[in-house]
Amino acid sequence: MENRAGSVALPSDLINVTALLDAYFDIEPDLSDPGQRVAFGTSGHRGSSLAASFNEAHILAITQAIVDYRTGQKISGPLFMGKDTHALSEPAQNTALEVLAANKVTVRIDARGAFTPTPAVSHAILVHNAAHPDEADGIVITPSHNPPGDGGFKYNPPHGGPAESEATGWIAARANALLAEGLRGVKRIPAALAQRADCISGYDFLQHYVEDLPSVLDLDSVRESGLHIGADPMGGASVDYWGAIGERHNLNLTVVNPAVDPQWAFMTLDWDGKIRMDCSSPAAMASLIAQAGRFDISTGNDADADRHGIVTPDAGLMNPNHFLAVAIDYLFRNRPSWRADAAIGKTLVSSSIIDRVAAGLGRTLLEVPVGFKWFVPGLLSGEVAFGGEESAGASFLRRDGSVWTTDKDGILLALLAAEITAVTEKSPSQHYADLTERFGSPVYARIDAVASREQKAALGRLAASDITATTLGGESITARLTEAPGNGASVGGLKVTTENAWFAARPSGTEDVYKIYAESFRGEAHLKKVQDEAKALVDGVIADAGNTK
């Protein structure tokens, strides 16, 4: 089969938007199929109307469950709601409003009727809660970078970040119970009445977010440098924000592609031939990479703008781990008002060069399981100044050391790349080369291995004592982790480390595979050896749960 990764989508690659929207209203989920029930992953409930996993019934049930959760938690402030540019996001918002208005929940939606990035919702929640006793929370309707046929629905509690497992577990269970009883427990009014309800009103997410950016970034230096920024919204919710940022702060900024298209016909195909708005993927970012020479720094965001992609003229698209290391090193040297004991947060599958950068800065490293929710308490308190994930998601504190967002902010990190370039007169990729001179040059990769549902469950239940191997890639094993060292939380899998390498294995939440993340500071050949040994080790310890395919 022809590998078309990085090539522009053809008509045959595009979704049928009419069929997708019809299926949203017409298909009823079959609750005997686990794939058609409500299930919250690390970023909310996701699915497709065509697969009976993201339909009107799901959104009615989830929204009522959120209302019931708010009541139980005594959350009485406004609920801030934003949607991205996926075709299913607008009908899902309309459905949610029917339930919220019927329950007389005070809701704030975009005053322009436009799209809202995830970080703008987090920002709005936190700004409200800093000034009012009645706590606000939020809903973000997005499947993030997923293909155009998908939909997503996230809940952010009053801390402004992704909901904890206790909350999402309760909401999912309640939603599935409501589905099972034929939605009899769901309050709902017609969409036309909901739109006019007194409890639904507009909020200028864009203005509040854009006006506040100087509190977290040195935009004066960016403006004075004349740096030419190319910002690609990739057809996502940041589309209006980038133009407003350039205009409001008088930056030399070009919005590379302002088009919004629910089919994403302008996209280049991802590694597997699918349309996916993954701003960390060289294939998905091929169009922007091809224009790198036009700009001093180029950036991309996924559909809800919680992820960032950084393109430099000298190196092209940066590996997300590389930019996280550069961002951390720069910020902790250029934010004098941050607490002297503020920690650096990373997920346990992020690059170990971050560990070495943290040690070089004399800072505490907080290593947590996968999921941005683990950084929320520290960002709120100022005890964690930066939290970053290997999948190009991060946020950090305002310049005075107070909280900015507690959800990932791709716009913020993209503008930070411009600040770094303007202040230091060196690109982020040049800074990464400097870091490798000091700390070594790691190679990093992720592979998938086939596993049954039972085997994935066995991997999630592993104890460190189940691992009897003493070496990995020819080096002595220094740690066997099934709990994150930063907070003691279960990693839902396994991480094994040596002096110069590590691997982590985690079951996929949506596919019959487990993921192996691995890194080596001793080159590609050593990384391959680590990967091979990691797969053999994991297959061995989960073999009793069934035969791997």
**Active site residue ranges:** 144
CA–CA separation, 262 vs 86, rounded Å? Answer: 6
Taking the C-alpha atoms of residue 369 and residue 511, their distance in angstroms, rounded to an integer, is: 20
| DSSP element (H, E) containing 317 | strand 316-317
Tokens of 276: 């996916």
Contact 508, 514 (CB under 8 A): yes
For 334-386, the DSSP string reads H-TTS-TT-EEEEETTS-THHHHHHHHHT--EEEE-SSGGGGHHHHHHTSEEE
Whether 276 and 391 have beta carbons less than 8 Å apart is answered as: no
Structure tokens belonging to residue 367: 């290593």
Count other Cβ atoms within 10 Å, centred on residue 517.
24
Helices (H), 132-237: 165-180, 191-195, 205-212, 219-225
Nearest to 159 by CA among 499, 352, 395: 395
Q: φ, ψ for residue 59 (rounded to 5)? A: -70, -35
CA distance 473 to 527: 8
Q: Which residue has the tokens 């609920």?
A: 79
The DSSP line for 232-262 is E-TTSTTHHHHHHHHHHTT--EEES-----T
Number of H helices, E strands in the chain: 17, 23
Residue 406 contacts residue 387 (beta carbons within 8 Å): no
Nearest 5°: phi and psi at 436?
-70, -30
CA 47 to chain centre: 16
Q: Is the dihedral of CA 176, 181, 187, 192 positive or negative?
A: positive
